[in-house]
Amino acid sequence: IFSLDATASRQSTWDVATKLQTEMFLSTQELGGLNVQLCYFRGFGDFYSSSWQSNADELLRTMSGIRCEAGATQIERVLRHSIQENERKKIKCIVYIGDAMEENLDILAQLAGQLGLLSIPVFMFQERNDAVAKEAFIEISRLSKGAYSQFDAASIDQLKELLKAVAIFAAGGLKALQKFSDKSEKPVKLLEQQLRS
């Protein structure tokens, strides 16, 4: 599941996120591809989840039509939705990109722990450096046995490599990620170390 905060604070980087998501698909083709469900939230309780797609063009069309709207975060909804989806079809991992957290951390921690028990790691990628979001994102990734990383507008290339790494992990498992990590920069190596620990 590829999930995004589409609230107003993220409008400036939305086009970049769209391009990165496409590259995430392309990086897994030699491993047999990837089925992805796009989820996002925005506005007053607006939550969207696509059908499962293996076609990058289709998801790119969906993402390019989205406009960010002011509203509160709905990370809890993303995590609950993922647990429900896993009952229908096994999920390998969840990617989340956001910059804020305005929810009850205890509830998010409980859901992250459930995902950890289901062997569904959550990869939390934080834009900018909000301290409250950082604490929550690290805790969600730890409890789900996933990984956390931070980025900003100056480190978009880093996020691109991290998303490729997650896609490779989802398509080929830890061994495929280790092989990719051997040829990658420090952030990817740190991601792999978090997963192994």
Alpha carbon separation from 180 to 5, 92, 158, 164, 165 (Å, rounded): 28, 18, 14, 9, 7
* pLDDT value of residue 23: 65
For 58, list phi and psi in degrees, rounded to 5.
-65, -45
- Evaluate if pTM is beyond 0.85: yes
Helical (H) or strand (E) element with 143? helix 131-143
Of 81-85, 154-158, 185-189, 190-194, the least confident: 154-158
Residue type, 105: L
pLDDT at res. 171:
82
Identify the pLDDT of residue 100.
95
Q: Residue 14's pLDDT is what? A: 73
What pLDDT score was predicted for residue 128? 84
pLDDT of 172 reads 83
For 45-76, how does the pLDDT look when each residue is reduced to its tens digit (9 = 90+)?
999 999 998 876 777 777 778 888 999 999 99
pLDDT tens, position by position, 103-156: 999 999 999 999 999 999 999 999 888 999 999 999 999 999 999 998 766 666
Looking at the predicted structure, is the pLDDT value of residue 42 above 60? yes
Diameter of the chain measured on Cα atoms: 44
- According to DSSP, the β-strands at 46-49 and 38-42 are antiparallel
Q: Contact 60/18 with Cβ under 8 angstroms?
A: yes
Q: Which pLDDT belongs to residue 127?
A: 86
